[in-house]
């Protein structure tokens, strides 16, 4: 059965009067409602699986509305628009960027397309929420950051777990001495196939492979808790169709702190980490998102077998969206994304060479990824 049933017809027509925004212009006159004055109006680029969830998250975030969705196919755009109550279905991503009723875009394309469409969105003056991985190389990631800088637009990668309220809490435990001296971080993210045909995760030309897809989480987690870039990394993968389908590795943050990771498409769903200190460890088994119908949870284990359990609920995607459309600086989040991408480059390089490689230092003008955890 097709993933996209096309039996629904869109009741909305494309409105040419909404074309042509001067870059950076935000025109709130077209879709503001009395209940949402000055809502930030999102346009969605791509109609994939994750889009369904994020559209609902956008629509349920205060101060945000979704005004348009673009697909390569008019039929698919119309179907999504009608299913999700989005006023306009648009054929072609460029046409969405040209609309005056779009202030920000949510981009959920295969990874190899992120850089091009983020840069175009920035040049059209739109704020950007881009799916992870931000790009397929550090150079591409930097081109996104530079374009956003140049055009004065805010951007975030859609890495929801970072914005969960417990993430700050867990990191505080690691840095305030509760665990003793932190020595090792281990992190695993996986799920077991099957994939549908045409799956971008298995296509090297679309930025496929578990290292970018799931290594984005494992690398980001290790860098987030370490609060610095690793000096040296090692990765080794099992490949299929020219992409890694299992990848394991090590990160050295200095002599005192190491991390190990495992990610892949050939073991059951795992989304856990451990931060091990000299006195105690944090263990979390759902860091990327909660298990269905359960609160998020983590445990602090001490050296005597005492366990402190923590459960909480939060709406991490809404927090992520609020952070983007808010007015606080995004430097710290942006830096972590650029660091993560640079480390992924080094891991891919190590996997090719089958030996540890040094991680080049990041641009020193970037602020350290620390401020929001204070």
Per CB under 6 A, the list member of 191, 252, 272, 299 interacting with ligand NHF is 191
Q: Which residues make Cβ contacts (< 8 Å) with residue 139, sequence separation at least 6?
A: none
Rounded CA separation 118/133 (Å)? 12
* Residues 240-279 contacting ligand NHF, CB under 6 A: none
Strands of the chain, DSSP E: 40-45, 64-71, 88-91, 104-107, 127-130, 155-157, 182-192, 232-240, 243-252, 258-264, 266-277, 280-284, 296-302, 307-312, 357-358
Closer residue to ligand NDP (CB): 213 or 274:
213
* Residues 53-92 contacting ligand NDP, CB under 6 A: 71-73, 76
Q: Where are the alpha helices (DSSP H) in 102-178?
A: 114-123, 138-151, 165-175
3-state secondary structure (DSSP) of residue 256: coil
The answer to whether 31 touches 39, Cβ cutoff 8 Å, is yes
According to the binding rule CB under 6 A, does residue 167 interact with ligand NDP?
A: no
Closer residue to ligand NDP (CB): 202 or 276:
202
According to the binding rule CB under 6 A, does residue 108 interact with ligand NDP?
A: yes
Sign (positive/negative) of CA torsion 86, 92, 95, 96? positive
Q: Which residue is at the shortest CB distance from ligand NDP?
A: 48
- The Cα angle at residue 317 between residues 316 and 318, in degrees rounded to 5: 90
Per CB under 6 A, the list member of 200, 270, 319, 369 interacting with ligand NDP is 200
Only one of the segments 49-57, 254-262, 265-273, 326-334 lies at the binding site for ligand NDP (rule: CB under 6 A); that segment is: 49-57
According to the binding rule CB under 6 A, does residue 95 interact with ligand NDP?
A: no
The answer to whether 315 touches 309, Cβ cutoff 8 Å, is no
The answer to whether 236 touches 354, Cβ cutoff 8 Å, is yes
Query: Which of ligand NHF, ligand NDP, none does 20 bind, CB closer than 5 to 8 A by kind?
Result: none
Judged by CB under 6 A, the number of residues near ligand NHF is 4
Query: Which of ligand NHF, ligand NDP, none does 191 bind, CB closer than 5 to 8 A by kind?
Result: ligand NHF
According to the binding rule CB under 6 A, does residue 213 interact with ligand NHF?
A: yes
Residues in contact with ligand NHF by CB under 6 A are 132, 191, 213, 288
Could you list the residues that contact ligand NDP (CB under 6 A)? Answer: 46-51, 71-73, 76, 108-111, 113, 131-132, 158, 160, 200, 206, 213
């Amino acid at each position: 059965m097709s993933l996209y049933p096309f039996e629904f017809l869109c009741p909305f027509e494309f409105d040419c009067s909404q074309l042509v925004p001067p870059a950076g212009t935000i025109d709130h006159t077209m879709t503001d409602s009395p209940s949402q004055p000055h809502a930030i109006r999102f346009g969605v680029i791509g109609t994939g699986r994750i889009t369904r969830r994020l559209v609902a998250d956008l629509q349920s975030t205060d101060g945000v509305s979704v005004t348009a969705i673009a697909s390569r196919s008019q039929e698919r755009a119309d179907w999504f628009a009608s299913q999700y109550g989005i006023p306009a279905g648009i054929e072609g991503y460029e046409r969405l960027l040209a609309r005056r009723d779009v202030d920000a875009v949510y981009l959920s394309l295969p990874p190899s397309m992120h850089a091009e469409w983020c840069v175009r969105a920035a040049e059209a003056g739109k704020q950007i929420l881009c799916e992870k991985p931000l790009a397929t190389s550090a150079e591409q990631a930097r081109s996104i950051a530079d374009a956003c800088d140049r055009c004065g637009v805010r951007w975030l990668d859609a890495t929801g777990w970072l914005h969960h309220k417990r993430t700050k809490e867990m990191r505080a435990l690691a840095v305030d001495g509760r665990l003793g001296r932190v020595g090792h971080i281990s992190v695993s993210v996986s799920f077991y196939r099957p994939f549908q045909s045409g799956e971008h995760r298995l296509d090297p030309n679309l930025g496929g492979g578990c290292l970018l897809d799931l290594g984005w989480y494992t690398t980001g987690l290790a860098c987030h808790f370490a609060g610095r870039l690793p000096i040296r990394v090692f990765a080794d993968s099992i490949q299929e169709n020219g992409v890694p389908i299992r990848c394991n590795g090590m990160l050295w943050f200095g002599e005192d702190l190491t991390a190990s990771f495992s990610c892949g498409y050939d073991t059951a769903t795992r989304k856990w980490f451990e931060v091990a200190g000299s006195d105690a460890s944090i263990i979390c088994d759902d860091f990327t998102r909660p298990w269905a119908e359960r609160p998020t949870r983590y445990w602090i284990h001490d050296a005597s077998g005492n366990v402190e359990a923590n459960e909480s609920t939060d709406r991490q995607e809404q927090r992520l969206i609020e952070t983007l459309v808010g007015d606080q600086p995004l430097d710290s989040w942006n830096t972590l994304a650029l660091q993560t991408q640079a480390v992924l480059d080094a891991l891919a390089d190590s996997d090719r060479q089958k030996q540890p490689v040094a991680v080049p230092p990041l641009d020193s003008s970037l602020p350290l990824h620390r401020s929001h955890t204070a």
